[in-house]
Amino acid sequence: MEDGAAEDTNGKDGGREGRQRAKADFRFDDARLCFAFAGTLADRGTGTPFERLARPEDLSRWAVQSACTTAAPPCAEADLDHARHLREAIQRTGRALADAVPPSPADIALVNRAAAEPPSMPELAPDAATVRWHGDSIAAVLSMVARDLIALCASEHRSRVRLCGNPDCGVPFVDTSRAGARRWCSMKTCGALVKKRAYRARLQAPGDGA
Closest contact distance (angstroms) between CB of 101 and Zn ion is 21
Q: Select 140 or 194, whichever has its Cβ closest to Zn ion.
A: 194
- Gap between the Cα atoms of 62 and 160, Å rounded: 26
Residue 47 CB contacts under 8 Å (≥ 6 apart), including other chains: none
- Gap between the Cα atoms of 80 and 60, Å rounded: 9
Near Zn ion by CB under 5 A: residue from 63, 86, 140, 190 = 190
Q: Select 7 or 79, whichever has its Cβ closest to Zn ion.
A: 7
Q: Select 97 or 190, whichever has its Cβ closest to Zn ion.
A: 190
Q: Which amino acid is at 10?
A: N
* 135 neighbors 118 (Cβ within 8 angstroms): no
**Per CB under 5 A, which region of 96-104, 119-127, 188-196, 201-209 contacts Zn ion?**
188-196
Residue 142 CB contacts under 8 Å (≥ 6 apart), including other chains: 82, 83, 86, 114, 117
- Gap between the Cα atoms of 161 and 170, Å rounded: 12
Q: Select 135 or 191, whichever has its Cβ closest to Zn ion.
A: 191
Is 169 near Zn ion (CB under 5 A)?
yes
**Per CB under 5 A, which region of 20-28, 95-103, 129-137, 190-198 contacts Zn ion?**
190-198
Q: Select 42 or 139, whichever has its Cβ closest to Zn ion.
A: 42
Near Zn ion by CB under 5 A: residue from 60, 80, 166, 192 = 166
Is 152 near Zn ion (CB under 5 A)?
no
Near Zn ion by CB under 5 A: residue from 185, 192, 193, 194 = 185
Task: Label each residue of 81-138 as H, E or C.
Answer: HHHHHHHHHHHHHHHHHHHCCCCCHHHHHHHHHHHCCCCCEEEECCCCCCEEEECCCH
**Per CB under 5 A, which region of 17-25, 69-77, 115-123, 189-197 contacts Zn ion?**
189-197
